[in-house]
Amino acid sequence: MHKQFRLGLIAAAAAIATLPATLSAHRLWMLPSITVVSSDDAWVTFDAAASNDLFHPDHQPLRAPPAAFAPDGSAAKIENWATGRYRSTFDLHLTQPGTWKVAMVNQGVMGSYTLNGEQKRLPRGTALAELAGAVPAGATEVKLTEVDSRNEVFVTSGAPTQTVLTPTGKGLELVAASHPNDLVASEAATFGFLVDGKPAPAGLDVQVIPGGKRYRDDEGTIALKTDAQGQVRIEWPGPGMYWLNVSSEGRSTAIPDAARRMGYTATIEVLPG
Amino acid sequence: MPLSYRILMTGIAAASSAGPAAAQTMQLDVAIPRLTVAEYHRPYVAIWLEQQGGPARTLQIWYDHDMPKNEGTKWLRDVRQWWRASGRALKLPADGVSGATRAPGRHSVSFVNGRGPLGRLAPGQYVLVVEAAREVGGRELLRLPFAWPPKPGVAATARGQSELGAATLTFKR
């Protein structure tokens, strides 16, 4: 049972990091109850799961709590974590004004090798630094993929701030030319992306999918490609919650003969007006 | 009594003809409609000023301003265009700006140039915006454009369909 769950989550994480925009797959998402709050003692509650349709939990819950960051950049506490059959829930207590971030970051190495005629997988969550000890001597058919994926949600109490939007310089990250908590349907948004701190190349697939899939026939995907500045401009079809995903594949520079998969995902709320 | 009255009148006349001009005043008359609904709560109402290229300034926010622990602020985000334009940058409650919610009926509020939340208005094109959001109800926004300083006799009017009734902006000295 546990193993199955684990495999399911690995599959979901891999899907996020790798699948081209045209394929439907289990998508990992976190859904906040609200993203723009006015109280100085606000709570936001979240659902988190992997599912096909956004944002309907029907497959697997998120298995481990994400990290959270307060507007001053300090680590914040995930409250009331609970896991159900199809989704996990947790709360964030907004104890200071500004923009907060909840983030699932998955950085490490996935892969498999053959030892004594048996195929083995690297343990889940193998860090780059642990790689040397993770592949035993005598292993053959070593296939490694460096994975770097990020899934983020922003919520703001009072006026939006920038600290939690500061990139780390590792993997695929958002450059919020439009603040993610300052979006309205009548105004196009501009988001840029960084790869290891440098503007993402042109032509990366970016997909933006509105929630509420069960109540319409079309997926409704807005399929975009990054421009020469590594940016996309999004015209919103209407207010709502959107799942934004961009992915990139290439060769690892950290591990010889390894692939690299990077992904960035965010849940973004667009308000009427 | 008649004497002091006369003196006062003379004083005003003198001020308006010879002394510095009386401050320009703008008056907003706005109706909150009476609604026949199962659950009625008075709307939160924001009144603010927009100027092209300038920051919005809040003139009034009527909300549950006197609840324990400032709990009434929780729903200010539902007055959402105001919240985005100005509210989220304010520290509330704010003197001369925060006020209690108001009952259905006609309400009149005046703003004097150079005083209180209006401040001293630079000449230009402005829009006075009135937005109402009601718990378990709707939201509506009215825009009243005007030029400053106002020409004599000029007024701006708008009429809401759901959460606000008629709104009129008039000017006097």
pLDDT tens column, A52-97: 999 999 999 999 999 999 999 999 999 999 999 999 999 999 999 9
Number of domains in chain A: 1
Which residues of chain A are within 8 Å of residue B81 when distances are taken between CB atoms?
273
Task: Decide if A38 and B81 are in contact by the 8 Å CB cutoff.
Answer: no
Query: Is A114 within a domain?
Result: no
Give the range of the structural domain holding residue A201, as residue numbers without chain letter.
2-107+145-270
Looking at the DSSP bridge assignments, the partners of residue A223 are A207
Q: Is the Cβ–Cβ distance between B117 and B57 less than 8 Å?
A: yes
Q: Is the Cβ–Cβ distance between B165 and B140 less than 8 Å?
A: no
| Nearest CA among A254, A241, A200, A244 for reference residue A221 | A244
Query: Is A125 within a domain?
Result: no
Task: Decide if B88 and A37 are in contact by the 8 Å CB cutoff.
Answer: no
Query: Is A140 within a domain?
Result: no
pLDDT band at A25 (very low <50, low <70, confident <90, very high): low
For residue B20, the model assigns a pLDDT of 56
Which residues of chain B are within 8 Å of residue A39 when distances are taken between CB atoms?
70-71, 73-74, 76
Query: Is A121 within a domain?
Result: no
Segments making up each domain of chain B, as ranges:
41-172
Three-point CA angle B159, B162, B164, nearest 5°: 50
The CA-atom distances, in angstroms, between A41 and each of A7, A177, B63 are: 39, 28, 17
pLDDT, tens only, B2-50: 444 433 433 343 334 434 567 899 999 999 999 999 999 999 999 999 9
pLDDT, tens only, A183-213: 999 999 999 999 999 999 999 999 999 999 9
Q: Is the Cβ–Cβ distance between A222 and A147 less than 8 Å?
A: no
Task: Decide if A38 and B76 are in contact by the 8 Å CB cutoff.
Answer: yes
Query: Is A257 within a domain?
Result: yes
Query: Is A119 within a domain?
Result: no
CATH of the domain at A195: 2.60.40.10
Q: What is the torsional sign of CA B161, B163, B166, B170?
A: negative
**How distant is the Cα of B18 from the closest Cα of chain A, in angstroms?**
47
Query: Is A58 within a domain?
Result: yes
Q: Where are the alpha helices (DSSP H) in B36-94?
A: 80-85
